[in-house]
Structure 1
Amino acid sequence: MQKTKQVVVIGVVGALVAVLLAQPIKGLVNDKEEAQTSAPTANSSEFNLENVSQMSKQGLNSSLIEEISDIEAQITKSSAEEKVSLLQQLADKWDDLAKPAPQGFVYEEMAKTSPKLEYWLKAGQAYRAAYTNLQDTTLAQSLNQNAIRAFENAVKLDGSNLDAKTGLGAAMVSGTNNPMAGIALLREVVAADPKNIEANKTLGLFSLQSRQFDKAIERFKTVIALKPDAESYFYLATGYENIGLKNEAIAAFQQAKQLAADPTLSQFIDRRIEELSK
């Protein structure tokens, strides 16, 4: 099932890059124009575990829907002691299906039932994974705000936790009108742990989005030196391509293709290499 989730993530990378470069971060680009724009005001209360679960069940086969619904029914009848265990089963089920949106709500419910750093952290990470793959929708904005809330609760429980700070910083950049506060948190993480993969990757993505391609390249080179993967090579290639370093871009795209588990991404890379080779 891990391979399935990897394919889902890698398969959307090409589409995400196009959106990434087309949507500057508020407060980092076009400051004068963006200063007149309010932050997203999605009402988080309009989305909850029940209705997001129903949305996420669409397209699943009947046996999977029945399995999930059975666990949900058990939760409604469970004692406090049983509830967290059943919620974990439900979270695992959504994880197997690569459906992070309902998983985020499940982990938040676990955190409210049994306040633990682990649950708030997993809630924030699931919400973040979900809104990252949704583009400019009310649900994405709502999940972004949920992620901020979850990571804030995680930081309250452990102010030194770098995963919580990384998640909060990333969520603040995309979900508030004060992105520099989020960037500052991410830089704080890198200062404490220069080899922090997630913080470096996140800063690299925001550098791409704000069209600071030289900075993005350095971030992704750091990530690749620590843990090479198709996604990071793809973003590195995108950085090179945007500053006119065609040979370097082609080499990075080829590395991405070699590591990719998704034929759709491989085909996209082939087209990019063909264009760059002209």
Structure 2
Amino acid sequence: MKKSQLILIFAGLCTVAGLYALPKVVVDNEAGTTSVEDTSAQESSPTEVAGMHESELTSANRSQADELKATLASAKAPSEIRAAAGSLAAIYQNEGMFDSAAYTLEEAVAMNSTDLELIEEVGKAYYEAYTFALDKTKVENMAEKTRTYLNEVLEKDPNRLDLKTKVAMTYVSSANPMQGITMMREILEADPQNEDGLFNMGVLSMQSGQYKRAAERFEELVKYHPDNLQGQFYLAVSYYESKEKNKAKAQFEEVKKITQDPMILESVQTYLDKL
């Protein structure tokens, strides 16, 4: 399982990723009305934003990273550019420096602007950086970068619902959150079983305190995608928050059956002890 998935699960409902630093938007009510609560996140200074990619690597990967930087700077062939940038970005991702990974891939695109697959990789990398950003300015910057690159791919292939869900989520944290909610609803209209769409709508319902509606979304998710561990976990949490104690207990027990990860099991046990 990806590190990002585990962090989201371990965190439960804590504010540790961009998905939880969102405005409180009513996403699934019957009347379709919307309420927005302004979230006051601390803004970074221009100097901090400009230097956000200057973090030092903290492992033996430093020498390899320096070599890859030199290779990338002198590379001419598209294949060489892609390989060097991809390897360097992987080092940053493994160390949790997601913004630096995205910046590295963006440099490669600047050297090879016709590579649509590479453009998609940059968009996805910026989206990953966006989901881990807490600073308001950084969240906005990462969201804008995500939209810039993924929309370029969507212009060529508008049927890529996997990319459209990512773009939609970046709008939810913007000044116009309903644009993102509307996009997500459109995705589910086109594909009612869409895994990312169901998951994100469930998360957004949780974030706005609509736990019963969140449970409905996650029930649909695990019905069609039973291997989605995050969905299984958040379904249990939604039951718990909805005071559905019996359902919550049964669902947490189900989560225990499908993973052996000690950190997840510890989180599950914490909830079970409260029931």
Q: TM-score range by the shorter chain?
A: 0.7 to 0.9
Change (3 A) 1:98 1:136: closer
Tell me: CA distance 1:200–1:117, structure 2 relative to 1, closer, same or farther (3 Å).
farther
Which range moves more in the overlay, 238-247 or 125-134?
125-134
**CA spacing shift, 1:43–1:150, aligned 2, 3 Å:** farther
Structure 1 residues 218, 115: closer, same or farther in 2, change over 3 A?
farther
TM-score (structure 1 length as normaliser): 0.80
TM-aligned CA distance change 1:198 to 1:237, over 3 Å: same
CA contact (8 A) 1:11 1:262 kept: no
Aligned counterpart, 2:83: 85
- 1: distance between equivalents of 2:53 and 2:118? 19
Deviation at 1:22, TM superposition (A): 7.7
Q: Using a 3 Å threshold, how does the CA distance of structure 1 residues 32 and 103 change in structure 2: closer, same or farther? A: closer
Conserved in 2, the CA contact under 8 Å of 1:24 and 1:210?
Answer: no
Measured in 1, the distance between the counterparts of 2:46 and 2:191 equals 33
Q: Which residue of 2 aligns with 1:229?
A: 228
Which deviates further from its counterpart, 181-190 or 223-232?
223-232
Paired letter, 1:18: C
Indicate how the Cα distance of structure 1 residues 32 and 198 shifts in structure 2: closer, same or farther if over 3 A, else same: closer
* Counterpart-to-counterpart distance in 2, 1:83 and 1:118: 13
TM-score normalised by structure 2 residue count? 0.81
Letter in 1 for 2:15: V
SS in 1 for 2:151: helix
Q: Does 1:54 align with 2:50?
A: no
In structure 1, the residue matched to 2:257 is 258
Residue matched to 1:13: 9
- Aligned partners of 1:270, 1:120: CA distance in 2, in Å? 42
Amino acid at match of 2:72: I
**For each residue in 1:216-256, what CA deviation from the matched residue of structure 2 results, as whole angstroms up to 9, or x when unmatched?**
11221122122223211111111111211011111222222
Decide whether the 8 Å contact of 2:23 with 2:36 is kept in 1: no
Counterpart-to-counterpart distance in 2, 1:41 and 1:131: 15
SS class of match (2:215): helix
Answer whether contact 2:205 2:213 (CA < 8 A) is retained.
Answer: yes
1:218 is the counterpart of 2:251: no
**Structure 1: any 5+ residue segments left out of the alignment?**
none
Give the conservation status (yes or no) of the 8 Å contact 2:44–2:136. no
C-alpha separation in 1, matches of 2:61 and 2:161? 36
Q: CA deviation at 1:192?
A: 1.4
Secondary structure at the counterpart of residue 140 of structure 1: helix
Q: 1:183 to 1:40 in 2, by over 3 A?
A: farther
Equivalent-residue separation in structure 1 for 2:92 and 2:149 (angstroms): 18
Counterpart CA distance in 1 for 2:182 and 2:41 is: 19
- Counterpart for residue 143 of structure 1: 142
Q: Equivalent residue of 1:31, what SS? A: coil
**Which consecutive residues of structure 2, in runs of 5 or more, have no partner in the other structure?**
28-33
SS of the aligned residue for 1:54 comes to: coil
Q: What letter matches 1:54 in structure 2?
A: E
Say yes or no: does 1:170 pair with 2:169.
Answer: yes
Change in Cα spacing, 1:33 to 1:86, as seen in structure 2 (3 Å) is closer
Give aligned-pair identity as a percent: 26
Q: Which amino acid aligns with 1:31?
A: S
Q: Find out whether 1:31 has 2:11 as its counterpart.
A: no
Count residues with an aligned counterpart: 264
* Counterpart-to-counterpart distance in 2, 1:237 and 1:158: 36
- What is the letter of the counterpart of residue 178 of structure 2? M
Cα distance in 1 between the residues matched to 2:221 and 2:254: 14
- Alpha carbons of structure 1 residues 139 and 110: separation in structure 2 relative to 1, 3 Å: same
Equivalent AA in structure 2 for residue 222 of structure 1: E
1:246 alignment partner AA = K
Relative to structure 1, the CA distance from residue 86 to residue 96 in structure 2 (aligned partners, 3 Å threshold; closer, same or farther) is: same
Partner of 1:73: 70
> What is the distance in 2 between the residues matched to 1:268 and 1:162?
32
What code does the residue aligned with 2:186 have?
E
Give 1:268 deviation, angstroms. 1.9
